Structure 1
């Protein structure tokens, strides 16, 4: 799994998603003209691989702040797999999942409003 993520990040580092024609357009954006919660994530990863942290945050703030949580969950999964133990829910409490879902939906709506233009990719 780590090799796949590293390979994808390496590809994104080399092939700039800011240049048209390299990656498909977000289907939600193509159909509606509105940004989905994931829009800008490829450009965020491209900016991160080049050390441009502020630019990465500006491309997709929600995905950016979620990266440490994803890294933590991946490490927990890898350690549990290595030890041959099942992965316990731990941080993934139902109320946290609901809160994150609500934050994601609010982010999705606000980034498409004129007042939330700063959250657009």
Structure 2
């Protein structure tokens, strides 16, 4: 069975994206985010002084690449917990796109509930990690 030219170009582009992700992981492995001008700063934190839900995620990923799980959890526990799930869905979506397979149906029923729950957890984490007393202060990236 021959693939269409469109599928071949999608496979090439998808492969290039995977290589770019690997190169990004290698750069992050070799260059820690702390005190490094290579990585962008969080504009939300810069403007407000508060930690957004993503603050510390790059440092968390750097620690994970060095297999320092406890440090990764201190940087951003939500990123640590969500990374396998996010990775699965991103890779599955890329795979489906590369093979030109149809997209799943729109969000309905339990899927819609899960999407709303994820948004609530992400926003709630952003609020809770800025509360000024323990145990909430432990959620701020250290």
Shorter-chain TM-score bucket reads 0.7 to 0.9
- Cα 1:10–1:98 shift into 2, 3 Å: same
- Aligned residue number for residue 118 of structure 1: 138
Q: In the alignment, is residue 26 of structure 1 matched against residue 46 of structure 2? A: no
- Aligned residue number for residue 121 of structure 2: 103
Q: Could you say which structure has the larger radius of gyration?
A: 2
- Partner deviation per Cα, 1:11-45 (whole Å, 9 max, x = no partner): 11111111243433211111100001110011011
Size of the alignment, in residue pairs? 121
CA drift of 1:8 comes to 1.5
Moved more, 21-30 or 52-61: 21-30
- Aligned residue number for residue 68 of structure 1: 84
> Aligned with 1:114: secondary structure?
coil
> Aligned with 2:104: secondary structure?
coil
Q: TM-score, normalised by structure 1?
A: 0.87
- Cα 1:89–1:2 shift into 2, 3 Å: farther
> Aligned with 1:39: secondary structure?
coil
Output the CA distance in 1 between the equivalents of 2:73 and 2:137.
Answer: 14
CA drift of 1:71 comes to 1.7
Q: Structure 2 regions of 5+ residues with no counterpart?
A: 1-16
Given that 1:16 and 1:22 are in contact with CA atoms closer than 8 Å, whether structure 2 keeps it comes out as no
RMSD of aligned C-alpha atoms? 2.1
- Aligned residue number for residue 57 of structure 1: 73
